[in-house]
Each structure stands twice: as C-alpha cells, then as structure tokens.
Amino acid sequence: MIKSTIDIDFSKIDDILKSYNYEKSSLIAILQKVQELYKYLPEEAITYIGERMEGLSPATVYGVATFYAQFSLEPKGKYEIKVCDGTACHVRGSSGVLAAIKEKLNLEKGKFTTADGLFSLEIVSCLGACGLAPAIVVNGTVHPQMTPDAVSTIIDTLVSKERG
Amino acid sequence: MEKTCLNIDIKEEQKKAQEYIKNQGLRVLVCSGTGCMANGSAKVMEKFRELGANVSTLTQHDKMTIVPTGCHGFCEQGVLVIIPELHTTYVKVKVEDVEEIFNSHIVGGKPVERLLYTDPATGNKVARSEEINFYAKQTRTALANCGRIAAESLQESIAMRGYEALAKVLEENKPDDVITEIENSGLRGRGGGGFPTGRKWRSVSRYKGGKSYVICNGDEGDPGAFMDRSVMEGDPHKLLEGMAIAAFAIGSDEGYIYVRAEYPLAIHRLRVAIREAEENHYLGDNIFGTDFSFHIHIKEGAGAFVCGESSALIASIEGERGMPRPKNIHMAEKGLFNRPTLLNNVETFANVPLIILNGADWFSSMGTENSKGTKTFALTGEVNNTGLIEVPMNTTLREIVFDLGGGIRNGKKFKAVQIGGPSGGCLTEEHLDMPMDYENLKSVGAMVGSGGLVVMNEDTCIVEVARFFMNFTQHESCGKCTPCREGTKNMLAILTKIVEGKGTMEDLDTLEELAEVVKESSLCGLGKSAPNPVLSTLKYFRDEYIAHIRDKKCPAGVCTALKTYTINPEKCKGCSKCARNCPVGAIDGVIKSPFKIDQSKCIKCGACMNGCAFKAVELS
C-alpha cells in the first residue's frame, strides 16, 4: 500500500461507523462512505475500521476492500475518468479511446493517477449507457460517443480550466 | 392473517391520479434516463419549462407540464421528447431546438420535420412512435411504463394501475393462490438461468413461519445489458410492487435490492420511490392497513461481476467478499443471514404485478411452449437502432436485428450476435430464423442470459471478441475455486497468443479441453459459463481461429499484430513524413521516390498511415 499523505480525521470515521451501528453487514457501505471522504481508502482508515468493529480484523477489512473494484487504495485524481469497456463500447472502439487517454495523460504502465494528481483513470465494465457507446464518465458526468479526438479535447479543456 | 379489509381504495386513488394527470394540460415527456441525461435532457427540460409558462396565452392549452420520464430504451436517438397529445416523438433534441418545437409545433401546429426520426430503410421521416419500427414491433409489458410516466412520481405510477395488483392479493388474502398463479403463468427467471419463478416461490414458502427475505438482484453486471437499469430508473414502483407481492406470497417482511454502484440514478430513484410508497402505506408497516408489513433496503454493490451470482450476492449483502458458496444447502432453506431467501431478478419482479392483474393465461398466451411472456433485450453494437427492446419470446433473431434494429449500420454485412454477454454464446446467420427462447438458445450453445445482444458485422474479429470476454471473466473470477481461477487465466493466455499470431494448432485442442473442464468443474455460474463464448465461437468460426494460427491473418483486419502496413509506390510522393512520424525508424527512402517499411522493425502503430496526406500507406 502507498503511504498516505493526508491526515485522517478518525472522528469522522467514528461518525460513519456509528451511523451504521457498527454492523458487520454494512461494511461495504461504510467503506463507500469513507472513500467518499478521501476519494480512496487510506491504510490507516482500513486498520481503524478493522479495530473498531466487533468481529472484524484489519485483515478482513483489507480483504473486502481489495475484492471490490470500486475501492481504491491509492489516491484518486481531482478528475476521475472512467472509461467504459463493456461489450457495446468495446465493439465500437473503446480501446482507441482508452489508448488516447493514456497517451494524453502520459500514464506509465501500471499507473492510474497522474503525477500532478489532477487525473486518475479507471476502466469499468459497463455503465449501462450502451446506446451511447463508447462512453466515458468524468467526475460523474457521462460523455457519449467518444473518439480519441473528443477525449483529447475534454482533457485539454479541464487542464486549461485548472491553469486558469 | 385475519384483517383483510383494506383501508385504501386503490380504484379511488387511481381515479384521483388520472385526474391529476389530466390537470397537467399538455404533457411534454422528456427522457431522463442515464443516456438522455448524458445528452443534456436537463437543459432541454429547463427550456421547455421556461417557454411553457406562456402556453395559456399562446395556445388553447391552459397549462403545459414537463414530465421527466425514465429510459425509453432508444438511447442513441436521445434526447427523446414525446408529446402524446400531438402524436409526435422528437429525437436527438438539443436545447437549441426547444424553441422551434415550441413555436412551430406547440403554438403553430406545424411539426418540426428535421427533428423527427428517419427510418434507416426508407429514409422517410416518422412522427408517431407507434410507426417507428423500433417501437412498433415491440410488446412492452415489463417496460410498459418506462418513458410514459414521471419516473419519480408515485401518483403517475398509481394512474397506470400501480399497486393495484398488490391491493388485489391483499384483499383476497390467499398467499398460496398467488404462487399458483405465478406457476401457471410459466414465468421463468429473467436474470439468465430461466428457473421457473413459481417453483422457486413455492420452495421458499415451505419454510414459512420464521424470518425470511426477498432479494432483488439488480447487479446487472453483463457488460452490454441495461434493461434492469431502465426498469429501476423508469418504473421503480413496479419493481417494488412485484417484490411486495412475492413477500406476501412467501410470508416475508424484509427485502433487499442489490444494485450496482455504477447505477447512481437507479439507486436515487429507488430510494425516492421506497420513501414515497412507505409514506402512503403501499410499503413499510401495515400495507393498505392490513397486518402485512414489508420493508425494502437498498444495498449498493461495489463493482464485482461475480456478485450477480446468487450466493455471492448474499455474501456481499452480509458485508463480506462476494464469493459464491457451495449450493449443497438450498437458499430457499438457508440463504441470507442463514434464513429462507427468495432471490429474483429485476425484470422477473417487474412481470409479477401484470400477471396478477391480467391473469396467468394472458401471460402464457405470449411466447413459446416452454418460454412464456416477453423478454427485454439490450440491442447494441453494429445495428442502426441500438436500444432496449421488449418482445414476445417467440420473436426471431432476424426480426430483432433487421426489423427492430433496422439492419446493420453503414450497409455492412451481418456476421454474428453475441447473446448473454460473457456467459453466453454467439449466433450466426444460420440462427436468424430461430425463435429466441430458453430451450432454442441452449440447444445451440448460447443462453438468454441477461438479454444483452451485441451485433457484430464483417469488421468484427470473432477471436478478438472471445479474447475480450475471457479477459473480462478472468478479471472478474473471484479466485475461490481452482478451475475457474486457473482455467480462465490459461484460456486467456492461449487466446492472446492466437490474436498475436503466435498460436499453434495444438493450442486449439488445449483451449477446447480447458473450456470443457472449467465448464464442468467450476463452483458457480461464472466459471461454468465462462467458456461459452470460446466454445461457441470455436464451433461456428473455427476457420477464423485457423486463419489467425496457420495463415497469420486476421480476416476482419482487427488484430494489430497480424496487420501489415505497406506503402503503395504508385501513390507515394516521397515526402518523408511517414519516416519522420515512425517512432521506431522502420521507414526509409529517398526524397521524391517511394519509401519502404521494414516489416521486421514495424510495431504496427499506424502513425505512418494516419499522417500520410496521399493515402499511400495501406493496411492488409
């Protein structure tokens, strides 16, 4: 795991745990709430949850966190780009879109967040927006019928917005 | 149960709700499904609202109401705007078009021709959705209200007979009769397996008495299918009502809907619907004033395909890693939290209220001998009309692809259809006239599955598609049982080798052997069905595999490693641009005479081709 660079406010995690009554069956929902706070699951948070919840250990929580694709143990970028590679998107050229994004963001093999922390990339299996294939989602907004040029423009727009 | 008299008169509520709709004046339905939202339906609605404020001074309508509906299923044509009173469906509406629709059509009575749907076969403009082939050939029952009512309104659902079926079963108060009705209807599980729904309910009802659960599987993981999303987004009350009827029949008081986290809009709409239904006593404590109570919770998935498998889904609801459990103990006896559990898919539950209202005979009059009713399919890929369709189960593949789907895009040739996603198989030309029911599909090595239909044309490489699905299932394999964990990995390695042109003929035998073993010995449905795409493509497109292996050629021209870039000396002007663009220095030549590509150095990136102004670089 990557060492976290942020301070964890454990009282906020306590609030989340309390709101779910420390219930074991709510572990996934709890992790989702914690991830909403930090945009990823810091190691300290995982350990803390494992220690505070009865019948669980940090290892069990870690096991659940690593099982589901939604959870990230690495910090996410300010702009989270999700590229759909479901069947419909795949046959309509999502691989080209993905390659264009990787090239544009200059992502090294095995890395999914840019060095400046601005963008992170995630490949998802289906967004259910198959009629709009190939589709990507940037911070919750669906962009339909993408092409390598179109994603390039989207990223350029975001970069220039950041640079003011 | 003693108290049978209901304290809500549903017929009375229906009248009130219909009156409420009548009082809305001119209804403008704007699709607010995931697809149309992405195409900007929120802005379209806002503009209509703004213009609609003056409708009473400009037209005979005293009012205009903008209705945000669920998904119509025709996502590619979004944003869809339907004005039922004017019998018009507008497609691809942008916010800039709204003023024209309002002024020309709503005020002036003249439809805006350019925003009507164009029939891909005839090129004619079609105004009425009943006349658009895509809709005309459908029989919408489970999806009947999707796109017709405000998705977040209980009242609009009531106006379309929402909760009437629940009132009926509570009034009659004979849970066993409800199960019999479902048995007689012939409804089978719409999530893929096709298990008879009534039989499932019957077996759970045997354990009546203690705590039991009703679970709705909304973890639509098949990449390429979105019918469950559409029902949850477009008609959430129908799903809730179906679950409540099931709960009443088997004697349960608590239910869960497990929804993928990738469907935030569906989760939101379900939450709104549950709250509103509880406030009005259609759900929650003492439903309709009887002593029947039923509470529904939403569980958000966290991105794991295997959680669509019933026992893995239960593990996930319990907060654990979503790994399947052995099925020696049936979940009708010990399921969620070790209690009797009934689990059905979204579409299955959505059919229940209709069967109760219209009778088992009505339902079983549709379809084939052993596959009754209708089925929704998500039609995607290389067809003209992509979207969600609902057709009787005796509809043929040809009708779906060529009538509803409007044929293959850009005049290309039909090659195959992948049905049922990564667990399904492919269907070819020879299957075009086969009715799409459970048995027929199974007999040719495919399955209804979730109902994803991906249409492929001559430019799709079937081996690459098989590799794509194997990559998906390998990635999603939970790793619990060895055949699936190791088998999918090895099958993927072989398929990758083949698409890279490094395969041998022996690999095909190994691939087939592995596929059979994984199919036979995996613990759950994911592993058991993972080899299907490989087996069915090997069966119908073996020559394509052989072309990759023996001739080192990809007949569809898709597999990068098997492509050859060459420079046509007759077209090349010798400008040297390609040589400068080439990242590996594989191109050489003398200015003003044709350049050449050194195939041993070429990495097939295509940079030469993209940059050539004279189209001299050719791909074979």
The radius of gyration computed from the CA coordinates of chain A, to the nearest angstrom, equals: 18
Question: Are residue A86 and residue A59 in the same domain, yes or no?
Answer: no
Domain that holds residue B524: 462-549
Q: How far is B161 from B607, CA to CA, in rounded Å?
A: 60
Domain boundary among B132, B166, B196: B132
Same structural domain, B218 and B338: yes
The domain of A61 spans: 10-67
Distance from CA of B46 to the nearest CA of A (A): 18
Does residue B140 fall inside a structural domain? no
In chain A, how many domains are there? 2
Confidence of residue B4 (pLDDT cuts 50, 70, 90): low
B224 contacts A126? CB cut-off 8 A: yes
Same domain as B576, residue B542: no
Claim to verify: residue B471 and residue B527 sit in the same structural domain = yes
Mean residue pLDDT of chain A comes to 89
The reply to whether A135 touches chain B by the CB within 8 Å rule is yes
Question: How confident is the model over B586-598, as pLDDT tens digits?
Answer: 999 999 999 999 9
Q: Answer yes or no: do A45 and A108 share one domain.
A: no
Chain B partners of A69 at a C-beta cutoff of 8 Å? 302-304
B395 and B453 share one domain:
yes
Q: How many domains does chain B have?
A: 5
CA angle centred on B426, ends B424 and B429, rounded to 5°: 150
> Same domain, yes or no, for B424 and B320?
no
Angle made by CA atoms A14, A17, A18, in degrees to the nearest 5? 85
**pLDDT score, position B584:** 83
The answer on B526 and B406 residing in a single domain is no
Instruction: Give a yes or no: residue B175 inside a domain.
Output: yes
Nearest CA to CA, how far is B6 from chain A (Å)? 35
Task: Check residue B262 and give its pLDDT.
Answer: 83
The model's confidence at residue A87, banded by pLDDT at 50, 70 and 90, is confident
Tell me the C-alpha distance between B589 and B96, whole Å.
Answer: 53
Interface confidence, given as ipTM, is 0.87
**Nearest chain A residue to B39, by CA:** A144
For residues B299 and B390, state if they share a domain: no
Q: In sequence order, what are the residues at sequence separation of 6 or more whose Cβ sits closer than 8 angstroms to the Cβ of residue B498?
A: B463, B467, B507, B545, B548, B549
pLDDT at A80: 93
CATH (domain of A146): 3.40.30.10
Q: How confident is the model at residue A3 (pLDDT cuts 50, 70, 90)?
A: very low
Any idea which of A1-5, B169-173, B292-296, B420-424 has the lowest mean pLDDT?
Answer: A1-5
CATH number at residue B609: 3.30.70.20
A36/chain B closest Cα distance in angstroms: 13
Q: Using an 8 Å Cβ cutoff, are B401 and B134 in contact?
A: no
B168 Cβ contact partners less than 8 Å away, ≥ 6 residues apart? B356, B357
Q: B508 and B582, same structural domain?
A: no
**Same-domain pairing of A113 and A135:** yes
Same domain, A150 and A91: yes
pLDDT of residue A91: 80
Average pLDDT over residues A71-77: 90
This prediction's pTM: 0.91
Q: Of B355, B537, B529, whose CA–CA distance to B449 is shortest?
A: B529
CA closest to A145 among chain B residues = B76
Q: What is the CATH number of the domain that holds B401?
A: 3.10.20.600
**Residues of A with Cβ-Cβ distance to B323 under 8 angstroms:** 67
A19: pLDDT strictly greater than 90: yes
Q: How confident is the model at residue A15 (pLDDT cuts 50, 70, 90)?
A: very high
What are the residues facing B347 on neighbouring strands? none
Judged by CB atoms closer than 8 Å, whether chains meet at B386 and A131 is answered as: yes
Say if residue B393 is in the same domain as residue B500.
Answer: no
Write out pLDDT tens, residues B307-332: 999 999 999 999 999 999 988 788 99
> Which DSSP category does B389 fall into?
E
In order of A157, A158, A164, B40, B58, the CA distances from A161 in angstroms are 6, 5, 5, 21, 43
B607 pLDDT band, cuts 50/70/90, is: confident
Which has more confidence, B558 or B516? Answer: B516
pLDDT at A88 over 60: yes
Percent helix, strand, coil in chain A (nearest 5)? 50, 10, 40
Q: Taking CB atoms and an 8 Å cutoff, what residues of chain A touch B317?
A: 25
Query: How many Å lie between the alpha carbon of B179 and the closest alpha carbon of chain A?
Result: 31
Minimum-distance CB partner of A26 among B261, B319, B454: B319
Instruction: Choose the closest CB to B380 out of A29, A69, A88.
Output: A88
- Residue-level pLDDT at B327: 80
Q: Which of B315, B333, B364 is the last residue of a domain?
A: B364
User: Would you say residue B4 lies in a domain?
Assistant: no
Pair (B539, B441) in one structural domain: no
Q: Is the pLDDT of residue B421 over 90?
A: no
- Pick the residue of B338, B382, B423, B454 with the most A CBs within 10 A to test the interface with A by mutation: B454
Contact call for A90 and B468, based on CB within 8 A: yes
Does residue A117 sit in the same domain as residue A140?
yes
Residue B2: the pLDDT is: 44
- Note whether residue B437 is domain-resident: yes
Nearest C-alpha in B relative to A63:
B321
CATH number at residue B494: 1.20.1440.230
Strand order across the beta sheet in which B341-345 lies: B295-300, B254-259, B213-218, B341-345
Strand extents, DSSP E, A31-145:
79-84, 119-124, 136-138, 141-143
Residue B317 lies in a domain: yes
Domain membership of residue B3 (yes or no) is no
Closest residue by Cα to residue B448 from B532, B552, B330: B532
Whether residue A150 contacts residue A96, with contact meaning beta carbons closer than 8 Å, is answered with no
Residue B498 lies in a domain: yes
**Which pLDDT belongs to residue B190?**
92
